[in-house]
Structure 1
Amino acid sequence: MVDHTLLAPEATRDDALACVAEAVDLGVYAVCLSPSMLPIDTGAVTPCVVAGFPSGKHHSLVKASEARLAVDSGAREIDMVIDVGAAVAGLYDEVFADVLTVREAIGADVVLKVIIESAALLAAVGPEAVAETSRRAAQAGASLVKTSTGFHPAGGASVQAVEVMRAAVPASVGIKASGGIRTAEAAADLVAAGATRLGLSRSRDVLAGFPDD
């Protein structure tokens, strides 16, 4: 369930290689990196990169080009950021078009995770914005909807957001909880709320809190 993540702007190529090595050692599902780190050999761990990160304020065609280039360079999953301001303003057709543009650029077989910055939406509008943004992202082709970049000052993943997102999208669409998950207890609560994937930068510490069996 874990995407072992390194997205710090000061991260070096050596840091990325170390992150991949740790991901392999931990046996996680994927490693999530900045697109500038590609190409990179991730071994048996699925390579994932971000697009339009972290603000989401890039033109949709720029996000699509970044995502397509990443796929051509070896990425098998893309975590894109929506224009959160569009969702705050209730412009859900723009959210739909943004996601659809990236989906069409990468094709149907690549996993697309759509970051909605749920904490910001909850603070600015309320649960209804989280629900409708999640629905429109799913309709546009999201494989998973994702809570957070982990960089927004409003905060990261929350049980409330995951519950709202889970209720809003079909069972075939996954939920990725990401941002501020630092303990096994927090991770377990998010999974119980409906998360099917976890984005962790402290994967070893979090996983150490779970029983070996």
Structure 2
Amino acid sequence: MTELTSASVARMIDHTLLKTDATPQEVAALAVQAQKFGTFSICISPNMVPTVPELGAVKLATVCGFPSGKHTAAMKAAEAREAVAHGADEVDMVIDIGLLKAGNTAALREEIAAVKAEVPSPKVLKVIIESGALTDDEIVTACKASEEAGADFVKTSTGFHPSGGATVHAVELMAQTVGGRLGVKASGGIRDWATAVAMVEAGATRLGVSATEAILAGAPA
């Protein structure tokens, strides 16, 4: 692998602000930071999308069905449709992991496909599988269902689930399963340079982080 630099890692980062008490002023500051750091995107809550100032080359990402995933497929699709109408370039959806654990992969594919229909190419759909709450077999099944339903990325975690965030093992398994056909986003608990690099080396092609400044500050000189 090519040696990672602060700039190359920054271009893999979705600079994220999903806390429930985020204000429009904080979102505006996030946008300024993203341009300063050279991140790929900012990722914010859906109701913040219409408030975003000019982002230049930085993309705009948001979430749907967040953070529980326990929304109807129609509701998730409607959320994605509104986000795209307001200018979102990417949507990170949370699956209903209960469908996965119940073995109802057909319904799982259907909800992902319903959201993807509202996020047409070149817009990007990432599927949050909440890997910390899953067995290895369930991770593989979720990744396969995401690919079959037309998703563009699989993503480890919301960062809100008590099971925790991204792990090297989960990222490796997800990357092996999608085989480069989909992107892999690691998110949740990535707060320093060493952890970010470990996720990239495991196969992550995108990183969802809020500690962007601290991570990039840890890059080798």
Q: TM-score range by the shorter chain?
A: over 0.9
Name the TM-score, length of structure 1 as normaliser. 0.95
Paired amino acid for 2:174 = M
Once residues 174 and 185 of structure 1 are traced to their aligned partners in structure 2, the CA distance between those partners, rounded to angstroms, is 21
Matches within 5 A, 1:18-37: 18-37=29-48
Aligned to 1:96: 109
Alignment match of 1:189 (pick from 174, 193, 198): 198
Rounded to whole Å, the distance in 1 between the matches of 2:120 and 2:42 is 21
The answer as to whether partners of 1:159 and 1:189 remain within 8 angstroms in 2 is yes
Structure 1 residue identity aligned to 2:189: G
Where 1:105 maps in the other structure, the secondary structure is coil
Partner residue of 2:162? 153
Tell me by how many angstroms 1:106 deviates.
2.2
Question: How far does the alpha carbon of each residue in 1:140-187 deviate from its partner, in whole angstroms, 9 at most, with x for none?
Answer: 111110000000000000001001111111312000000000111111
Q: Which residue of 1 aligns with 2:129?
A: 116
% identical equivalent positions? 48
C-alpha separation in 1, matches of 2:15 and 2:49: 16
SS at match of 2:118: helix
Name the SS of the counterpart of 1:106 in structure 2.
coil
User: Residue in 2 aligned with 1:142?
Assistant: 151
Deviating runs (4+, > 6 A) in structure 1?
A: none
Match of 1:107 in 2: 120
Number of aligned pairs?
208
What is the SS of the residue equivalent to 1:130?
Answer: helix
Contact 1:90 1:129 in 2 (8 A): no
Counterparts of 1:163-202 in structure 2, within 5 Å, are 163-202=172-211
1:109-160: CA deviation from partner (whole Å, max 9, x where unpaired): 2100000000011xxxx20100110111111111110000000000000001
Does structure 2 conserve the Cα–Cα contact (< 8 Å) formed by 1:49 and 1:77?
Answer: yes
